[in-house]
């Protein structure tokens, strides 16, 4: 495996725009993000420069979640296999990737039990949700957990992108009804976008994944995709509407105020004591009610009438709830509907992949460029002296500056005598330290410091600042520094997606390091063909899909509904 130390670092950085993949693999090691000499595939060790940034990103997210009422939980790393396998789609999605754990000498009562390392925490959390949730008063339940999950990746692993140990934050929620669950999906998108864009300047789009690519056990999945310099999509966050798939598998039931459950935009259902199901559909001013027995195949009775109605199809509409109740009571002679319901659920997560997007999009040929907020060292102070006499005075002055800054910023003095100031300048540029303060004889005499700001692909900008103005100047310069990163990222992303209507245009741009938005039929078979022929993945539509009704699929020429994102991907 390729590795190098700082003594050879400058020669080893490749041109990011010529060979992005090798640039990434180099930079992530020599800029002290990870060390992957640890002898397990896909399990690198994280240096402070990497781990601090990951921790900080997850902290930012935790704060945003807590502002919205989410609370932190901790669940064990082991899941009993019989709990894990309860939701059948879920297990199909993860079965081949799990690590089993067996004790070397199990005690008698654990002899038959198989454990797995959690690959994601739905199943262990929902086992407990079923014990905790009793009434509508317990809802919504808004939880999150920052942890590690484990997946046995056999494909090529890539630091921060695909590995066997994933550092991340997962949120899990339970709700009274579909509307509340979907509001939380929207909220999760807002929270994640705030983390990605406001804090980290990572441009991204939200995409609804095709059915064949949604999370195992979900009704639907939205994913945040960014595009790396090589034109490949990188998924950096996902949010899933789990519907009632897990609550049915784990028996997460609550007692509600009334029996009606909203199951779609204009549909309710309700159950009686024999588990017969009423389905209520509201179309404009007409209400249709069908009754199904336990076979649930064809309705055994149905009824419809016109109703006066304010258009609000929700469980909060007391008037509508009363009407439905009365019709079922009077027309179906139903005397007992039950108020027990399965909860609606969502789950969503962001991992250390976010850091990989930060590195890939903001970095340059000199190394990392990190947003100020997530840099492990925000300001490095470098003393410059040429004699023993100068040394002690300048180091003393460096300490004064350090003491002035340490309360507000993560700051460090590099006093290493064995390295030249020039070497240090390069090293901290490589590591993505945003600000450097150099202090020599001139600064000492004039009571100033020289601030140098990390610039994209050019020499640092230098400012000589009076010590008494330093704190104020820094505040201003930090805002400017982050603004430049954001502006550059915005411009970068503008050219990363080509919207085109013909296969010829797509073929002509395949080697241009961009992603595409095209009219596509959304057939899985067509998706397989283009994967085989062009190595392109179908990522999905916008959250609110863009209409392409009069167009044809550029690959198979059948009718399409929407524009769809396609491209190479990680």
CB 554 to Zn ion: min, Å = 8
Of 453 and 510, which CB lies nearer to Zn ion in the complex structure? 510
DSSP-derived 3-state class of residue 555: coil
* Residue 337, H or E segment: strand 337-338
Is the Cα dihedral 259, 263, 268, 269 positive or negative?
negative
Candidate list 501, 556, 561, 570; residue touching Zn ion; CB under 5 A: 556
Distance of closest approach, residue 555 Cβ to Zn ion, in angstroms: 5
Task: Tell me the three state secondary structure of residue 376.
Answer: coil
Quick one: which segment of 131-139, 300-308, 399-407, 524-532 binds Zn ion (CB under 5 A)? 524-532
- Min dist. Cβ of residue 545 to Zn ion (A): 16
Task: Name the one range near Zn ion by CB under 5 A: 31-39, 101-109, 198-206, 553-561.
Answer: 553-561
Stretch that binds Zn ion, among 354-362, 368-376, 431-439, 551-559 (CB under 5 A): 551-559
User: At closest approach, how far in Å is the CB of 556 from Zn ion?
Assistant: 3
From the CB of 241, what's the least distance to Zn ion, in Å? Answer: 26
Among the listed residues 91, 404, 510, 526, the single contact to Zn ion using CB under 5 A: 526
CB 375 within 8 A of CB 355: no
Among the listed ranges 192-200, 299-307, 357-365, 552-560, the one in contact with Zn ion (CB under 5 A) is 552-560
Distance, CA of 544 to CA of 561 (rounded, Å): 12
| Part in contact with Zn ion (CB under 5 A); list of ranges 178-186, 318-326, 424-432, 546-554 | 546-554
Least distance from Zn ion to the Cβ atom of residue 552, Å = 8
Stretch that binds Zn ion, among 212-220, 327-335, 386-394, 545-553 (CB under 5 A): 545-553
- Looking up tokens 């300047």 gives 201
Locate the DSSP E strands across 126-276.
141-150, 165-175, 205-208, 220-227, 233-243, 253-255, 261-264, 267-272
Q: Which is nearer to Zn ion, 297 or 533 (CB)?
A: 533
Q: How far is CA 47 from the centre of its chain?
A: 22
Q: Of residues 482-521, which lie at the interface with Zn ion (CB under 5 A)?
A: 521
Task: Provide the β-strand partners of residue 516.
Answer: 498, 566
Residue 413 has what DSSP assignment?
A: E
Q: Measure Cα distances from 129 to 87, 252, 332, 480 in Å.
A: 15, 6, 35, 46
Q: How far is the CB of 514 from Zn ion (least distance, A)?
A: 20
- SS3 of residue 415 by DSSP: coil
Taking the least distance from each CB to Zn ion, the nearer of 128 and 556 is: 556
- Evaluate whether 277 touches 260 at the Cβ level (below 8 Å): no
Nearer to Zn ion, 136 or 555 (CB): 555
Query: Which of residues 471 and 503 has its CB atom nearest to Zn ion in the complex?
Result: 503
Does 268 participate in binding Zn ion (rule CB under 5 A)? Answer: no
- Residue 290 or 523 with smaller CB distance to Zn ion: 523
Among 115, 196, 516, 555, binds Zn ion (CB under 5 A): 555
String of contacts with Zn ion for each residue 435-454, x by CB under 5 A = --------------------
CB of 529 to Zn ion, least distance (A): 8
List the helix and strand counts (H, then E) for the chain: 16, 29
Q: Please identify, using beta-carbon distances, which residue of 439 and 566 lies nearer to Zn ion.
A: 566
> Each residue of 118-154: b (16+ CB within 10 Å) or e?
bbbbbbbbbbebbeebeebeebbbbbbbbbebbbebe
Q: Which is nearer to Zn ion, 495 or 502 (CB)?
A: 502
Site size with Zn ion, rule: CB under 5 A: 5
- Least distance from Zn ion to the Cβ atom of residue 504, Å: 16
The DSSP code for 379 is E
For Zn ion, the closer CB: 180 or 537: 537
Nearer to Zn ion (CB atom), residue 116 or residue 560: 560
566 binds Zn ion (CB under 5 A): no
Q: Which residues are 233's β-sheet partners?
A: 227, 569
Rounded-to-integer distance, Cα 10 and Cα 30, Å: 10
In degrees rounded to 5, what are phi and psi of residue 364?
-140, -165
Rg (CA), the chain: 29
Residue 399 and residue 393: Cα distance in Å, rounded? 10
Question: For Zn ion, which stretch binds (CB under 5 A), given 45-53, 166-174, 455-463, 550-558?
Answer: 550-558
Cα–Cα distance, 202 to 194 (Å, whole number): 10
**Which listed range, 169-177, 273-281, 463-471, 548-556, lies at the site for Zn ion (CB under 5 A)?**
548-556
Question: Nearest-CA neighbor of 197 among 226, 169, 171?
Answer: 226
553 binds Zn ion (CB under 5 A): yes
Binding site for Zn ion (CB under 5 A): 521, 526, 553, 555-556
């Amino acid at each position: 495996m390729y590795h190098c130390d700082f003594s050879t670092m400058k020669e080893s950085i490749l041109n990011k725009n010529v060979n992005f993949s090798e640039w990434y693999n180099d930079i992530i090691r020599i800029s002290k993000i990870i060390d992957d000499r640890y002898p397990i595939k896909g399990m690198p060790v994280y240096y402070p420069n990497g781990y601090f940034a990951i921790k900080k990103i997850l902290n930012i997210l935790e704060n945003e979640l807590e502002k919205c009422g989410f609370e932190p939980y901790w669940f064990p790393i082991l899941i009993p296999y019989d709990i894990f396998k309860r939701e059948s789609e879920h297990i199909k999605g993860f079965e081949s990737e799990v690590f089993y754990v067996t004790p070397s000498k199990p005690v008698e009562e654990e002899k038959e039990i198989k454990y797995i390392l959690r690959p994601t925490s739905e199943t262990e959390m929902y086992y407990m949700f079923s014990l905790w949730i009793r009434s509508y008063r317990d809802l919504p339940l808004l939880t999150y957990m920052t942890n590690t999950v484990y997946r046995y990746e056999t494909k090529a692993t890539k630091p921060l992108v695909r590995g066997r140990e994933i550092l991340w934050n997962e949120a899990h929620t339970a709700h009274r009804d579909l509307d509340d669950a979907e509001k939380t999906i929207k909220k999760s998108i807002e929270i994640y976008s705030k983390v990605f864009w406001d804090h980290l300047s990572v441009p991204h789009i939200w995409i609804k994944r095709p059915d064949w690519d949604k999370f195992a056990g979900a009704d639907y999945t939205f994913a945040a995709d960014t595009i790396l310099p090589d034109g490949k999509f990188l998924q950096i966050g996902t949010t899933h509407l789990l519907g009632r798939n897990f609550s049915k598998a784990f028996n997460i039931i609550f007692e509600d105020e009334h029996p009606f459950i909203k199951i779609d935009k204009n549909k309710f259902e309700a159950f009686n004591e024999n588990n017969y199901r009423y389905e209520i559909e509201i179309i404009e001013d007409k209400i249709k009610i069908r009754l199904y027995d336990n076979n649930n195949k064809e309705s055994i009775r149905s009824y419809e009438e016109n109703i006066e109605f304010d258009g609000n199809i929700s469980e909060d509409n007391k008037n509508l709830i009363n009407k439905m109740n009365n019709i079922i009571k009077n027309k179906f002679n139903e005397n007992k509907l039950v108020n027990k319901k399965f909860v609606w659920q969502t789950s969503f997560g962001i991992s250390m992949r976010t850091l990989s997007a930060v590195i890939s999009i903001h970095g340059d040929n000199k190394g990392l460029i990190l947003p100020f907020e997530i840099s492990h060292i925000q300001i490095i102070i470098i003393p410059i002296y040429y004699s023993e006499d100068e040394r002690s005075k300048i180091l003393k002055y460096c300490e004064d500056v350090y003491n002035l800054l340490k309360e507000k910023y993560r700051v460090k003095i590099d006093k290493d005598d064995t390295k030249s100031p020039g070497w240090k300048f390069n090293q901290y540029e490589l590591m993505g330290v945003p600000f450097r303060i150099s202090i020599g004889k001139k600064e000492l005499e004039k009571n100033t410091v020289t601030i140098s700001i990390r610039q994209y692909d050019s020499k640092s900008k230098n400012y000589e600042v009076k010590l008494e103005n330093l704190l104020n100047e820094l505040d201003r310069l930090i805002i400017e520094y982050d603004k430049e990163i954001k502006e550059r990222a915005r411009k970068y992303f503008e050219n990363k997606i080509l919207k085109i209507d013909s296969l010829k245009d797509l073929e002509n741009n395949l080697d241009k390091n961009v992603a595409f938005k095209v009219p596509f039929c959304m057939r899985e078979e067509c998706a397989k063909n283009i994967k085989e022929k062009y190595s392109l993945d179908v990522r999905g539509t916008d959250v609110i899909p863009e209409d392409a009704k009069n167009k044809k699929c550029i690959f198979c020429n059948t009718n399409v509904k929407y524009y769809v994102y396609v491209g190479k991907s990680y």
